[in-house]
Amino acid sequence: MTKEGIVETPYRFLGEVMDGEGARFSTRILGDLEGIFADADALAKMDKDTVAYKVASIEPVPQGTPGGLYMGITYLSPGKVGAEYFMTKGHFHSNRDTAEYYWCLKGEGMLILMDEERNVWAERMHPGTLHYIPGCVAHRVANVGGDTLVFAASWPSDAGHDYASIASEGFAKRLLEVNGEPKLV
């Protein structure tokens, strides 16, 4: 699309809200997260329609376009399945060596990272923390606080999401609440 002169700014990123031209919104309920939590019995007793997280994203170019950038905000509900905190599905990027920034706007979380040798580490998230996720590193976020965790992200438009390898192999460690504290186990 050709533009000329002063045009209307197409996107807004106001505190915890991202919106604008072609913004996309998606919701993951607990029922979408079967198989990612360790305690399947605990999950079976919970309401499948409980919202685990919502994502709003701005994708100005079609998925797969080289050189473009996306922005998103994730709203991750507080809660646990057994001893495991509510978390995002987690993924590698399909285009493995593409990186991403996450930054925390609200709440308390942990960014769980895993390289291709399955080494796992985690970074604490709280308002103001900025996280560089290098290429070839799988990423998932757990909400370790009592309120909604809100974080923003920016990733390349040709990154793509590979959920399948995490769905089948998982992360090599889980973030559990042990004696009231988050612990990688």
Q: Which residues bind Zn ion (CB under 5 A)?
A: 100
> What distances in angstroms separate CA 54 from CA 40, 43, 121, 132, one per listed residue?
22, 19, 24, 22
**Nearest Cα residue to 113 out of 128, 100, 129:** 100
How many residues of this chain bind ligand PAN (CB under 6 A)? 14
User: Which residues make beta-bridge pairs with 30?
Assistant: none
Alpha-carbon distance of 153 to 148, in angstroms, equals 16
Query: Concatenated DSSP letters for 116-174?
Result: TT--EEEEEE-TT-EEEE-TTEEEEEEE-SSS-EEEEEEEETT--EE-HHHHHH--SS-
* Minimum CB–partner distance for residue 47 and ligand PAN (Å): 20
Residue whose CB is less far from Zn ion, 98 or 143: 98
Laid out side by side, the sheet with 80-81 consists of 80-81, 84-85, 175-178, 181-184
Which of ligand PAN, Zn ion, none lies near 72, with the C-beta cut-off 5 to 8 A by kind?
ligand PAN
Pick out residues in 134-163 that bind ligand PAN (CB under 6 A). 139-140, 153, 155, 159, 161
Q: Which is nearer to Zn ion, 84 or 100 (CB)?
A: 100
Residue 90 interacts with ligand PAN (CB under 6 A)?
Answer: yes
- Kindly tell me which of 32 and 39 has the beta carbon lying closer to ligand PAN: 32
- Please tell me whether residue 96 binds ligand PAN under the rule CB under 6 A: no
- Least distance CB 180 / ligand PAN (angstroms): 26
Q: Which residue is nearest to ligand PAN (CB)?
A: 88
Our finding on whether 91 is near ligand PAN (CB under 6 A) is yes
Residue 74 touches which member of ligand PAN, Zn ion, none, C-beta under 5-8 Å by kind: ligand PAN
